Amino acid sequence: MPDKPDKYDFHAIEPKWQRIWAERGLFRTTMRADKPKFYYLDMFPYPSGDLHMGHVRNYIIGDVIARHLHMRGFNVMHPMGWDAFGLPAENAAIERGIHPADWTRSSVAKMKQQFDALGITYDWSREINAAAPDYYKWTQWLFLQLYKAGLAYRGEASVNWCSSCNTVLAREELEGAACERCHTPVEIRRAPGQWFFAITKYAERLLADLALLDKWPERVRVMQENWIGRSEGVSFRLRLEGREDYLEVFTTRIDTIYGITFMALAAEHPLVEELIAGTEYEQPVREFVRQVALEAATDREAAATEKKGMFLGAYCLHPLTGERIPIWVTNYVLLEYGTGAVMAVPAHDQRDLEFAREYELPVKVVITPPDQSLDPDTMTQAYLDPGLMVNSGEYDGLGSEEFKQVIADRLEAEGIGRREVNYRLHDWLISRQRYWGCPIPIVICERCGDVPVPEDQLPVLLPEKADYTPTGESPLARVPEFVNTTCPACGSPARRETDTMTTFVDSSWYYLRYASPDAVDVPFRREEVAYWLPVDKYVGGVEHAVRHLLYSRFITKVLYDLGHISFQEPFTELFTQGMIYIDGHKMSKRGRVVRPEEISDKYGTDTGRTFILFVGPPDQDAEWSDRGVEGCHRFLQRVWRLVEENRGLYLAEWREVLHGGTAGATPAALEGTHRAIRRKTHQTIQTVTDDIANMRLNTMISAMMELTNELLPFAGEVGAEDTAGRAVLSEGIWALLHLLSPTAPHICDELWSRLGGEGSLYEQPWPEHDPAIAAAETITIVVQVNSKVRDRLEVPADMPMEQVQELALALPGVQKHVEGKQVRKVVAVPGKLVNLVVG
């Protein structure tokens, strides 16, 4: 008999096993031919220096998957790194008055320690840091590849400016009309010399290839689709009255072309100024344009409700009828989309209708619904659906959908217009006027213009000393040693580009670097990328559904086109985990935050790991519950007691006993409880295995709780002489520890070693279930009368249904309801139920 059972001392057990795993280098991964590879990736975090349980959920989900797949025989790569550049680090550093590099370093150390305390299987030999020169050297290389391919260009743009952060914001960094970080309303500014990546050139492929991503959540694919915002239409020209030039418009509703009653221009449209110059409209229109610019910057929401505009005193001519069409400037047309000018058809566009009513402009119906007629003078809702053409010259009576094609053909044939596809997606503005980012490897020479830094001169190092307080110009511009250089092309004195890149560039390629984190001469080695990539499973928050994932897909396609990699989509499967709420708030924002240390101090990290999985379906949001944590701790306590208190009954050779026929314990000879427990064990193996494969990690825990709840009382019944019973119990315990080990690895490894097991369960093969043992030999048949459950029948699984029917009919509970009535129909579903329809 073993010594007196020990208590579950997680304070001792957890560090002990973490040390053993680290010493043995258990989680280090290399390329190998004998196993299938699996690249599991967590989205790498900003090193904020403080993990809470909301973040932890992401990493535990990943760890369970990685551990499980390793036990299943996969060569699993499970790396971690740091998205270390960027505003959060810089702002935190400014607040605390320390250098961003120092702050980042200490944050990384803290978080790494937190990860290790969670028992996560990261391969730290692959750790990467986006702010380290050996990494950002290759981010600069990436920039140069895009530059050479004509995909990186400089342009002037009207940009969203945050006066608090003193920087340009990408559209992606906005929340409504405010800065997503500090919620200051943005201003619109003209900014020259900004760098862009030409992602719109890839819009079509980024959209089309979404269809390949069948292992991505529908939700995310839809969000990307919306973001790209493809729309098909026609763009055509209208001759300006009294001038030689034209006004170009884009429309998706060319079928309403005969319904145009005015033209609407964006306030910033260049033609506005031209048309009013020297006219009586000049002053008032200029004033109006200034008002619109102000409103657009501060209060886009309100502007959206109230439509305003002003006549420019100019006309253009309808390309088909030659009618004079008044040109208006408005606050509801966007310069950035289409041509910045719209053909207004009030009868068939709600916005145009509202505008027309406001300024008493004519409304002309050109499409009528089949069963009613529209009154242009009183209608308040524009008619948007298809119908029959009216007031449209020789086309009257044609279906509007058909007319759409007919008129597009005619406009193309006459050279007036052409079919065109427009996207909402804009080119990707990557310039940031900030210090803590990757310098853009460009030298500006007065003679040569923009000159890319030669690749052999990379990295362009970020100077350590800089006044990084934001002022609007890049802090790097105030570091003469950095700015002043010589032109790589002609050797004359030149200046460096002083903007840095947005961190989304850093994170758009990091998954490639994990394959070759130590590569010195190349960003990654071809053979290693070919082996590991694409990422098999990528898990992170849905907040990255659009920007990070779209940029990564774009960069992957660019690198594919340039011949650096051989795949076009970086992430085969995507899983977005839900957020953890506490007291009704996201754990990340105001309100209470639970740090992993609080849980591990009180209950152990295994308890925290178990709870964060058990809390709910991984893809859904969940509410934190201190009580729920206690429940999971009780579960682990029961597991501990089950194994530790019954060590004396454990038979390491249970397999031989159960399968070798010793002591009359062959499966066939097992009876009653023994048989039932074996069945439960094998059913649990099956359930847990399926649940992990389908990311049902909450029900996976439930299944193991059920098994534990059956094994505990069973253990109390098994006597020392009952070899068969001991073998059945041992198999149950053996299976439970293996199945539970990805979730609660420390307690399982400890109990495993106490049973005499070798090493870590991480190195053990995953259990397999025997379907014959898992199969129930008796089943419960539900007996219904008129679809109401009246009784149940316990029968052998292989009993023919005719026989089951007879038994069912004879049941007293059934007889009562059938008596005196005629059985009209019998529905018998094998293995499930018998339904007697009587009346």
Partner RNA sequence: GCCGGAGUGGCGGAAUUGGCAGACGCACCAGACUCAAAAUCUGGCGAGGCUCACCCCUCGUGCCGGUUCGAGUCCGGCCUCCGGCACCA
Based on CB atoms, which residue is closest to RNA, 121 or 708? Answer: 708
Q: Which stretch binds RNA (CB under 7 A): 10-18, 103-111, 802-810, 825-833?
A: 825-833
Site string for RNA, 406-445 (x = CB under 7 A): ----------------x-x---------------------
Number of residues located near RNA, criterion CB under 7 A: 85
Based on CB atoms, which residue is closest to RNA, 354 or 528? Answer: 354
Interacting residues with RNA between 655 and 684 (CB under 7 A)? none
With 0-12 / 13-18 / 19 or more C-beta atoms within 10 angstroms meaning exposed / middle / buried, residue 200 is: middle
Query: Which tokens sit at 236?
Result: 């055509």
The answer to the question of residue 829 lying near RNA (CB under 7 A) is yes
Interacting residues with RNA between 286 and 325 (CB under 7 A)? 300, 303-307
Question: Which one of residues 26, 101, 223, 801 is an interface residue with RNA (CB under 7 A)?
Answer: 223
Question: Which one of residues 2, 49, 488, 628 is an interface residue with RNA (CB under 7 A)?
Answer: 628
Based on CB atoms, which residue is closest to RNA, 116 or 630? Answer: 630
Q: Which stretch binds RNA (CB under 7 A): 214-222, 238-246, 429-437, 467-475?
A: 214-222
Q: Which stretch binds RNA (CB under 7 A): 51-59, 337-345, 385-393, 454-462?
A: 337-345
Work out how close the CB of 26 gets to RNA at its nearest, in angstroms, rounded to a whole number: 30
Nearest CA to 568 out of 210, 129, 315 is that of 210
The answer to the question of residue 693 lying near RNA (CB under 7 A) is no
Work out how close the CB of 610 gets to RNA at its nearest, in angstroms, rounded to a whole number: 10
Interacting residues with RNA between 708 and 737 (CB under 7 A)? 709, 712-713
- List phi, psi (to 5°) of 164: -85, -45
Based on CB atoms, which residue is closest to RNA, 248 or 573? Answer: 248
Q: Which stretch binds RNA (CB under 7 A): 3-11, 183-191, 392-400, 609-617?
A: 609-617
The answer to the question of residue 332 lying near RNA (CB under 7 A) is yes
Work out how close the CB of 754 gets to RNA at its nearest, in angstroms, rounded to a whole number: 20
Based on CB atoms, which residue is closest to RNA, 158 or 485? Answer: 158
299-308 long-range Cβ contacts below 8 angstroms, 24+ apart:
299/177, 299/185, 300/176, 300/177, 301/176, 301/177, 303/331, 303/332, 304/332, 306/331, 307/331, 307/332, 307/351, 307/354, 307/355, 307/358, 308/358
Query: Which tokens sit at 343?
Result: 């053909």
Burial state string for 571-605 with b = 16 or more CB within 10 A and e = fewer than 16 = bbbbbbbbbbebeeeebbeeeebbebeebbeebbb
Site string for RNA, 738-757 (x = CB under 7 A): --------------------
> Strand 574-577's sheet: what is its strand order?
75-77, 37-42, 537-541, 574-577
Cα 206 from Cα 211, distance rounded (Å)? 10
The answer to the question of residue 616 lying near RNA (CB under 7 A) is yes
Based on CB atoms, which residue is closest to RNA, 166 or 709? Answer: 709
Q: Which stretch binds RNA (CB under 7 A): 86-94, 223-231, 282-290, 802-810?
A: 223-231
Is the preceding omega at residue 534 within 30 degrees of 0, hence cis? yes
The answer to the question of residue 604 lying near RNA (CB under 7 A) is no
Q: Are 328 and 259 in contact (CB under 8 A)?
A: no
The residue with tokens 């059934």 is 814
Q: Are 148 and 455 in contact (CB under 8 A)?
A: no
Question: Which one of residues 789, 797, 810, 823 is an interface residue with RNA (CB under 7 A)?
Answer: 789
Work out how close the CB of 161 gets to RNA at its nearest, in angstroms, rounded to a whole number: 18
Q: Which stretch binds RNA (CB under 7 A): 101-109, 393-401, 444-452, 611-619?
A: 611-619
Interacting residues with RNA between 125 and 184 (CB under 7 A)? 171
Q: Which stretch binds RNA (CB under 7 A): 240-248, 316-324, 595-603, 785-793?
A: 785-793
Question: Which one of residues 60, 267, 458, 615 is an interface residue with RNA (CB under 7 A)?
Answer: 615
Cα 525 from Cα 564, distance rounded (Å)? 10
Work out how close the CB of 837 gets to RNA at its nearest, in angstroms, rounded to a whole number: 5
| First CA to last CA distance, the chain | 66
Work out how close the CB of 137 gets to RNA at its nearest, in angstroms, rounded to a whole number: 33
SS3 track for 371-435: CCCCCCCCCCCCCCCCCEECCCHHHCCCEHHHHHHHHHHHHHHCCCEEEEEECCCCCEECEECCC
Question: Which one of residues 206, 266, 316, 347 is an interface residue with RNA (CB under 7 A)?
Answer: 266
The answer to the question of residue 343 lying near RNA (CB under 7 A) is yes
Q: Are 748 and 759 in contact (CB under 8 A)?
A: no
186: DSSP letter: P
Question: Which one of residues 195, 504, 524, 635 is an interface residue with RNA (CB under 7 A)?
Answer: 635
The answer to the question of residue 790 lying near RNA (CB under 7 A) is yes
Based on CB atoms, which residue is closest to RNA, 190 or 627? Answer: 627
Based on CB atoms, which residue is closest to RNA, 120 or 718? Answer: 718
Helices (H), 471-604: 480-483, 503-506, 510-513, 526-532, 547-561, 596-602
Going through 54-165 in order, the beta strands assigned E by DSSP cover: 75-77, 81-82, 128-129, 152-162
Based on CB atoms, which residue is closest to RNA, 601 or 623? Answer: 623
Going through 741-821 in order, the beta strands assigned E by DSSP cover: 778-785, 788-796
Query: Which tokens sit at 789?
Result: 């459950």
Alpha carbon 621 to chain centroid, angstroms: 14
Q: Which residues contact 161 (CB under 8 A, 6 or more apart)?
A: 167, 168, 169, 186, 187, 188, 189, 191
Work out how close the CB of 539 gets to RNA at its nearest, in angstroms, rounded to a whole number: 17
Query: Which tokens sit at 211?
Result: 């269809």
Q: Which stretch binds RNA (CB under 7 A): 107-115, 158-166, 215-223, 553-561?
A: 215-223
Q: Which stretch binds RNA (CB under 7 A): 98-106, 216-224, 438-446, 480-488?
A: 216-224
Cα 794 from Cα 779, distance rounded (Å)? 6
Q: Which stretch binds RNA (CB under 7 A): 72-80, 317-325, 533-541, 776-784?
A: 776-784
Interacting residues with RNA between 234 and 253 (CB under 7 A)? 250-253
